[in-house]
Homo-oligomer: A and B are copies of this chain.
Amino acid sequence: MNGRGDERRARDPSRPVYVISVAAELVRVHPRTLRIYEVEGLVCPARTPTNIRLYSENDIRRVLWIRHLTQNLGVNLAGVRILFELEERLGMRILETLYQNRNKDNETEAEAPEAAEAGEGSARAGR
């Protein structure tokens, strides 16, 4: 009998599992958009030996952050790039600080993204 090792590996959030159409559905975005994010260096899904994109849970979370920043906060992709770069360079998830102890201010629409918290710092989070 197989121990729980398989299951644990199966749930590994860094494990590449979703093909682009599925990933696009999960984050409610056009596949075109996901490809653009990749060209812009904001996400970097794994590839099968035959070059097919495979998104991990971490990739999905990362994309959800991008969507949140762009759609809810109005940040453009250049801004997202800087924020991700800062996270990587500072070695901390600075974006979360926007939603931790403080909900003050006016922003009534300010809500952390669905499954908040991007993968690691780098765009290579998926791997």
- Chain A residues near B (Cβ < 8 Å): 69, 73-76, 78-80, 82-83, 85-86, 89-90, 94, 97-98, 102
Contact of A74 among B76, B85, B94, B97 (CB under 8 A): B76
Chain A contact residues: over half helix, strand or loop, or mixed? helix
Cβ contact within 8 Å between A98 and B82: yes
Q: Which residues of chain B come closer than 8 Å to A78, judged between CB atoms?
A: 73-76, 79
Cβ contact within 8 Å between A97 and B90: yes
A113 to B79, CA, bound (A): 17
Identify the closest chain B residue to A74 (Cβ).
B78
Copy tally for this chain in the complex stands at: 2
Q: List 12 A-B contacts (CB under 8 A).
A: A73-B78, A75-B78, A76-B78, A79-B80, A79-B83, A82-B83, A82-B98, A85-B98, A86-B97, A86-B98, A89-B98, A90-B97
Q: Which residues of chain B come closer than 8 Å to A97, judged between CB atoms?
A: 86, 89-90
A80 to B98, CA, bound (A): 14
Contact of A75 among B79, B90, B94 (CB under 8 A): B79
Q: Which residues of chain B come closer than 8 Å to A79, judged between CB atoms?
A: 75-76, 78-80, 82-83
